[in-house]
Each structure stands twice: as C-alpha cells, then as structure tokens.
Structure 1
Amino acid sequence: MNNFSKIYKITLSALLLLLVIGCKAPAIVENNAKTTLPEIYQPSASYTALAADTTNIAVKPWQEFYKDKYLKDLIDKALHSNQELNIQLQEIEIAKNDIRVKKGALLPSVSLQAGASVDKVGRYTSQGAGDATTEIEPGKEMPDPLGNFAIGAVANWEVDVWKKLRNSSKAAVDRYLATVEGKNFVVTNLVAEISSSYYELLSLDNQLDIIRQTIKIQKNALEVVKIQKEAARSTELAVQKFQAEVLSTQNKEYEILQQIKETENKINFLLGRYPQEIPRDKSVFMTENIADVYTGIPSQLLANRPDIKQAELELDASKLDVKIARAEFFPKFEISAGVGLEAFKPTYLVKIPESLLYNLAADMAAPLINKNAIQAEFASANARQIQSLYEYEKTVLGAYLEVNTQISNIDNLQKNFSMQNQQVQALNKAIDAANDLFKAARADYFEVLMTQRDVLEAKLDLIETKKKQLASVVQIYRSLGGGWK
C-alpha cells in the first residue's frame, strides 16, 4: 500500500509539472481586418441620383442579365465544359474530403489485429528452463519451438482538451467554403470573359463589313479616276494614289479576318472544345441597348463578391491555425486500449478466460526543452494570419476601385459614343460632297482620299467604342459580383 501511495504521488506530481510547463504558451494577438467601406462609390454626375439606391444588378442571374440567345448558349456550354471550372470543382471535392479527415481525428481509431509467430529460446535460459518444466496438461509439456497466435482490437484516442482537433476541423470547413467561393469567382470571371469576347467578335464582324463596303467604294472611285485619266482630266499619280488606298484597306481586311479567327478560338478554348465557328447575329451589335446600371451601395460587395467571401473565409481559417499551433505548447493526452485472444496454439484461442488479454493505458506528454520548432510554427501561423488579413483588405479595396472605375468608364464612353456618332454622320455627308465635287472637277483626288480615310477611321472608332460600352457593362456586372448565381 505504501508503494502504491508513492507511485500515485509521483504520477500526480508529474502531471502537475506537465500542466505548469504547458501553460507557458504565447498569447494570441487578435488581428481584425479594416472593412469600413465608403457609403457611396463617388459616382459621376449622371450617377448621383443612384448613389444611395440599394438596387443592384449583381443579384440578377446571368440568364436574365444577358439578352442575346447566342451568348447565353455559349455561357451555358462553358459552365459545363470549361476545364478551369472543372478543376475548381475537384478542389471542392478535395476540401470536402479534408473535412472528413479532420473530423475523423476527433474520434477514437479502432483497428483489428491478427498475428502469428514462432519463438525458439535456448533451453539453458530462464525462460527455456521454465518452459521445459511446465506442463500444459498432465503429461504434456510446452511445445518447442513455441508458437504465438493472437487476434484482437486496439483503440487509440487523443483527448481534445485544448480544442486543437476541433479547431482543425473548423478550419477545414472554412477552407472548404472558401473553395466553393473560389469556384463562384471562377464562374463570375468565366461569364464575363465569354461575354467580352463575344462582343469583341461582333465588333470585328461589323468592322469587316465596314471595310468591305469601303473597299467597294474605293474601287468605284478608282475606276472613275481611270476614266478621268483617259479623258485627260486626271493624272497617273491620282490613279496610283487611289490604287494604294484600296490595297491599304484590303490589308486591314486580312488583319480583321485574323483577329476574328483568334477571338473565335479564344471562345472555343473557354468552352473546352476544338476550333469551330461561333454562331452569332452581327446585325444586332450597333442596336444593342446598354443595360441600365444599378450599382447599389459599396457594403453590398461584401455579400456579392465571391472573392471577398473567399478571402474572409481564408482569414477565419488562418486565425484557427494560430490556435492550433498554440495548442502544441500544451500537454497531449492519449488513451489506448486493447482486447483480444492470445495463445501458443490456435485451438487454445477459444479457451476463455485463459486466452483473454486486455490492456488500458493513459499517456500525457508535454514539450519540455528545445521548443524551437513549436515556437517557429506558431510564429509562422501568426504571420500567415496577418498575410490573410492584408489579402482580405486588398481584395475589398480592389473590388471597390473596380466598380468606381467602371462607373466613370460607362459615363465617359456614353458621351464619347454620342460625339463619334455625330462625327460619322458629318463625314458621311462630307464624302458625298467630296465625290460630287471631284466628279465636277471642283475638288482634287487628295481631298477625296483623305475624306474616305477619315470616314473609315471614324466608323471603325464608333464600332470600337460600342464594343467598349458593352464590355464596360459586362465588367461592372462582374465587379459588383454578378454572374455566379
């Protein structure tokens, strides 16, 4: 009884010592992100009336936001076959399985074990001498060599006193949710990229039509100059100048054809397929209405933007990682147990209770000296937490600036398109006047050439501005967090 009392006191003292050692862990410093956003986007004059309106185009599904049936069909196909999106879906599966791993660590692990062995010891040893004089039954000695057969179940369990395993499970859940938001962000960008590329393709189609119409007009003018030369009303210089202008415009035609091919291939790549023609209706491009833009208020970005929610979840997970790293300073409690049957002959395994074995043990261990690795891991976890905090703040700031920039862009492009449209109308009248004056010999060929060139450039610029208008609406829809719902 005195020996047991001494063992009890020694064990209790050791436990208390371990607890004291474990309590010497660094404190966790809470780092909170700055998420205070301006109340409005500081819009331009034309958007002031919408500044305090919470109506937000981001809540619209992309099927309602986009009206073009060909575009909607392309987006739908991309959402099923785009490789990057499918890769992200597998990331979600990986994160989901990681949750199962972390939750499994909270429960005891139980395994079945079975084994067989043969052991031959020297007869002139304490064990050998003892086996030689032992009888299993009257007249039957212990076998030599001695076999050993065992079957049983073994369980191990780490008691989660400091919530290390529970925090690890929570962090895995946060990272799983972050991958879901990451997938949503990929969808948002994919929808925007296909839409922008589609509008670029329509703009190239319209530019090609303008160039071909211009080539036809220039060839007609060239024929007129040739006739005038034969009638001695013009010179070879004028003929060559008109010929050079036709060739220059034809070069633009081939450049546009190449750009069309590249844009089609870009869309096909986003759809995860080999090159094929992209179905589209180019006739609606210039009449495509610019959607009404309702930006809501900046605080809605926190709920609508998948990348912001992803960064927030990563920040939460990194905070839990710090707690997990801190728990390594505390003692670790483990319980192990086993029960089974063991005998030197298989037929004796069923002889219970003689073949029955069991054990139960509880262990506690805490780091005593050389804590450098644990301290370094805690410091790294804390640094990663601060990194995640800055990443979150950067994402929020970037989202706000994207929307603010696109608001200004839409406003300025609208004014630009209106003025360019007036310019094209004026130049169309000028080209008619120049051709009439040239035929009447009241204007020289240089004036006609320059006017034709100005008209072509103005029409191409007008189409380019229209494309930018449509692209800016696509971008603000993406920047507000639309496209993934």
Structure 2
Amino acid sequence: MGRPAVLASAALTLVGCTMGPDYQRPEVTTPGVYRDGPDIPDAASIADQPWWEVFGDPALIALVDDALRNNYNLRAAIARIEQARGLRAQARSGLFPRLGYDSVVSRGRNEFLGVPAPNGGDTSTGGFVGLTAFWELDIWGRIRRSDEAALARMASFEEDRRAVMLSLVSEVAQLYFQLLGLDLQMEIARRSTASFAESLSLFERRARGGQDSELPSMRARAALAGAEITIPQVEIDIAITENAINVLLGRAPGPIDRPRALADQIVAPEVPVGLPSQLLERRPDVRLREQQMIAANAEVGVALANYFPRLSLTGILGGASPELTAIDGGAGSLWSIAAGLTGPIFEGGRLKGQEVAARARLEEAIANYQQSVLRALEDVSDAIITREKLVEVERGLVIAVDSLTTSVSMSTDRFLSGLSGYFEVLEAQQQLFPAEQALATTRTQKLLVLVQLYRALGGGWNLADEQWTSDGGTPPPEGEPEPK
C-alpha cells in the first residue's frame, strides 16, 4: 500500500472515532402479567384498535376528529417538533464544509485593508475578494454525538406529539361521557323532584281535609327543596363540561350535541390488555423518556470529546491587491490552504464540570425512564382493578334501586290505605334518590375507566400520524420538510 493510501486510511480511522458510550437501553423488569389482570397473558390488546372503534358513538367520534384538527395544544406540540428539527439541522451542519465569501475595500496611506502596512507614504485604494472554506474534521465524534443528541431530542418531541394526541382523544372522550352522566343525573333529579312534589301535594290535601297535621307537609316540602337545588347544581356542571370540550376543540364555549344517552353506550364485557412488556414500545410517554435518555447519553460523548484537540481545514481563493484595478490580474490572485489544531491546556475545571453535568443528566434521564415504566404499569393495573370492582358496585346498586323503587310504591299504597305513616313514604323516596344518583355515577365511571385503560395501554400506538382521524381525512397539522 502506498504512502497516500496509508495516510487516507489513517484519516478515515481518526474521523470514525467516537467518544463516549454507545446507547444501550437499561434493564427494566416487567411482570409477566398485570396485577388483577388475566392469569393467562394474551398479546392482543384494546390498544391495537383505533379509538373510534373503542368509542363507537358517532357524535363523540366527530368531536374527537375536530379536536385532532383544531386543538391548540397539539399545534404547539407540532411547533416544538419544528424547533427541534431546526436545531438538529444546526447540529448536523458541522459535519460538512462551510463555504462563504468575503470582500474588503480600503483607501489610505501606509495601510492595506485597514491594517498598518508601510508603502512609502503613498495613498492607495486596495481590496480583497474571495471564496472562503472551513471544515472541522470530526476526529473524536463531537459533532456526530451532538447530531445524535439533537436527533433524539427531535424524536422525543415526536413522541410528545403522539402523547398529546392520545391525551386529546382521551380527554374529549372522558368529558363527553361525563356530560352524558350529568344528563342522567339531571333526569334523576327532575324525576325525584316530581315524586317529592306529588308527595307534598298528597300531604297538603290530607292536611286540608283534617286527616293529618301540617308536619308531613313540612317534611315533604323540605325534601322537595333538597331535590330541587340539585337541578341548578347539575346545570352548572353541564355548562362547565361543555365549555371544557369546546376549548379542546379549539372553539368558543357553547352547547355540545349528544343524541345518544348514557344507557345507549356499549361497553364490552371483556377488554384485552396485552402484555406488560408491550408498554415499553407503545406508551408515548415511556418512548419520550427513552429518547431523552438517548440524547443525554450522546451528550456525555460531546463532553468527553471536548477534552481533545480540534483539527480544522481552511481555504481561500480570490484576489487581493493594494491597487484595486489590479485585483483580478495575475499578480493579485490569491489562494491558501491551511490546517489548524487547537485544544485545551488549562480550563480551570470547566471541561470537567461539563462532563460531570452530562453524566448526571444521563443518570437523571435513566431514573426518569425507569419511573415512567413503573407509572405505566401502575396506570394499567389501577384501571383493571377499578373496572373489575365497578361491575360489582353496579350490580349491588341495581338491586338497591330496584328494591327502593318497589319500596316507594308499596309505602305509598300503605299510607293511602292507612296502614303506615307519612314517614315511611318520605324515607323510601329519600333513600331512592341518592341510590339512583350513585348508580348513574357508577355507570359513568365504567365508561371513564375504559378511556383510562385505553390511554394507559398506549392506545393508537400502531396508527400513523395521518391515520388518527376516523375518516382518514384532514390529518393533524404536519411539520415542514427537514431543513437542508
């Protein structure tokens, strides 16, 4: 092998060197099954389904589609991706030579281009014009590690966008189901108010006829007032919930159309949850933490490379002459190729401080990643046990409501027959009202926990960005192409 080939090989070897550790995902132990989940694990998961198949209400689907197109938090997340894309382009630019131009014109005595230069006292007009080139050879991988860190940060903002999209779908769905639950609460409050009003009318007629004292009427009037004040309280909650949905949709507060009632919503009796290990690849918040970890790992390499010298090449091609008219002549032609080597000798602990800080940021990123995995497992397990126990609660409340409904009817008949007093009627009504409210709340919670489970499992993980809307129409706003 000739000497030029040996030198070229040595140069390539140097340029290929990269300081710092290569990224490896830290060990994270995940259980074989979720706590309170199925004993026999199954890879199938509700998170594999697009959200519009999980939440089948057409009105809800239209609301979520609007939110994905118009939500301002999502637009801000996309803007953060573009910022990261621009920063990555800046970091990557150091891998390539920089070309530019320069020109200077000056007039004076005993100077040339603004620098003292004796010329016998003559007054002259000189100039310089030329192309300039600069290239830092990335011997230690400082620029490549910087690019690696910038790329990982950009990827983390991509995951942030997906997290915002999943959060947006979940929040709109939860608020919508809460709204349906409030509609049911309003229906119960109005029905209970009408029931208490009938009892009051009955007691007042009996008091006027001398069959009873005013005491039953007073007790019934108090019960009626307690039921009536529930109505404006629910109306407040409905308006606030509608306003919150509209804000997520990027529009001013207003009413929300909801043709289907809470009872018309379909909840699957069995919901597959998949394997715990799948969360590492499906939860956008966990993936975001991993990208932050990759960036921090690369920044350790940048800090280590700063200890070593930097080799750069510079070049100039142009013309320079103390006489402006001769700048383009043969005597005024100018070219130069130079190599420079610069490096630290004493920095007062600055470089060591950079390394210590970079390694500490890596340790922080690793801890954040491991914590995010535990949080993901917790979210899924919480949703599983809540969903399971709500079924038991609903079963008990259905029995209670059915029994109390019968009790109200029987106690009223007994009162009219003179077999019991007014207190038995009021007590049955007063017990039925909160039992019906509790049942409505439980049925709402069953829908809410389904949304929570879908979100906890990283729902929509297999959807491309343009597939997040149900009709495949206008996707979430896209960023601009990567800068060159």
TM-score for the superposition, normalised by structure 1:
0.87
Match of 1:375 among 352, 365, 370: 352
Per-residue CA distance 1:47-83 (angstroms, 9 max, x = gap): 33xx311111111111222100011111101111111
The equivalences for 1:297-446 within 5 A come to 297-351=275-329, 353-446=330-423
Gap regions ≥5 residues in structure 2: 1-13, 464-484
CA distance change for structure 1 residues 385 and 31 in 2, over 3 Å: closer, same or farther?
farther
Give the distance between the partners of 2:364 and 2:26, measured in 1 at CA: 11
Per-residue CA distance 1:122-153 (angstroms, 9 max, x = gap): 9xxx965x536xxxxxxxxxxx4221121101
Per-residue CA distance 1:177-204 (angstroms, 9 max, x = gap): 1111111011111111111110000000
Give the distance between the partners of 1:233 and 1:109, measured in 2 at CA: 103
Verify: 1:80 aligned to 2:69, yes or no. yes
Residue in structure 2 matched with residue 121 of structure 1 by the alignment: 110
Per-residue CA distance 1:322-355 (angstroms, 9 max, x = gap): 011000011111111111112234332221x211
Residue in structure 2 matched with residue 56 of structure 1 by the alignment: 45
Residue in structure 2 matched with residue 37 of structure 1 by the alignment: 30
Give yes or no for contact 1:187–1:483 (8 Å, CA) kept in 2.
Answer: no
Structure with the higher helix share, 1 or 2: 1
The equivalences for 1:79-228 within 5 A come to 79-121=68-110, 128=118, 130-131=119-120, 144-228=122-206
- Quote the offset at 1:290 in angstroms: 1.6
Per-residue CA distance 1:215-260 (angstroms, 9 max, x = gap): 1111111111111001111111211111111111110111000000
Q: Which amino acid aligns with 2:459?
A: G
Q: How many residues align?
A: 442
The equivalences for 1:453-472 within 5 A come to 453-472=430-449
SS in structure 2 opposite 1:476? helix
Give yes or no for contact 1:225–1:239 (8 Å, CA) kept in 2.
Answer: yes
Give yes or no for contact 1:286–1:463 (8 Å, CA) kept in 2.
Answer: no
Give yes or no for contact 1:112–1:152 (8 Å, CA) kept in 2.
Answer: yes
SS in structure 1 opposite 2:318? strand
Gap regions ≥5 residues in structure 1: 1-18, 133-143
Give the distance between the partners of 2:35 and 2:387, measured in 1 at CA: 14
CA distance change for structure 1 residues 231 and 341 in 2, over 3 Å: closer, same or farther?
same
Give yes or no for contact 1:305–1:479 (8 Å, CA) kept in 2.
Answer: yes
SS in structure 1 opposite 2:120? helix
- Quote the offset at 1:121 in angstroms: 3.0
CA distance change for structure 1 residues 225 and 370 in 2, over 3 Å: closer, same or farther?
same
Give the distance between the partners of 2:101 and 2:245, measured in 1 at CA: 56
Match of 1:249 among 216, 222, 227: 227
Residue in structure 1 matched with residue 477 of structure 2 by the alignment: none
Residue in structure 1 matched with residue 11 of structure 2 by the alignment: none
Give the distance between the partners of 2:154 and 2:128, measured in 1 at CA: 42
Residue in structure 2 matched with residue 5 of structure 1 by the alignment: none
Give yes or no for contact 2:44–2:273 (8 Å, CA) kept in 1.
Answer: yes
CA distance change for structure 1 residues 232 and 346 in 2, over 3 Å: closer, same or farther?
same
Give yes or no for contact 2:280–2:373 (8 Å, CA) kept in 1.
Answer: yes
Residue in structure 2 matched with residue 279 of structure 1 by the alignment: 257
CA distance change for structure 1 residues 387 and 158 in 2, over 3 Å: closer, same or farther?
same
SS in structure 2 opposite 1:414? helix
TM-score for the superposition, normalised by structure 2:
0.87
Give the distance between the partners of 1:127 and 1:63, measured in 2 at CA: 78
Give yes or no for contact 1:321–1:381 (8 Å, CA) kept in 2.
Answer: yes
SS in structure 2 opposite 1:34? coil
Give the distance between the partners of 2:420 and 2:246, measured in 1 at CA: 50
Give the distance between the partners of 2:411 and 2:323, measured in 1 at CA: 115
Give the distance between the partners of 1:374 and 1:54, measured in 2 at CA: 48
Q: Which amino acid aligns with 1:116?
A: V
- Quote the offset at 1:27 in angstroms: 7.9
The equivalences for 1:254-269 within 5 A come to 254-269=232-247
- Quote the offset at 1:171 in angstroms: 1.4
CA distance change for structure 1 residues 286 and 110 in 2, over 3 Å: closer, same or farther?
same
Per-residue CA distance 1:72-124 (angstroms, 9 max, x = gap): 111101111111111000011111112211111111111111221112239xx
CA distance change for structure 1 residues 32 and 304 in 2, over 3 Å: closer, same or farther?
closer
Residue in structure 2 matched with residue 233 of structure 1 by the alignment: 211
Give yes or no for contact 1:192–1:483 (8 Å, CA) kept in 2.
Answer: no
- Quote the offset at 1:32 in angstroms: 5.6
- Quote the offset at 1:28 in angstroms: 5.9
- Quote the offset at 1:365 in angstroms: 1.7
Percentage of pairs with the same residue: 28
- Quote the offset at 1:370 in angstroms: 3.0
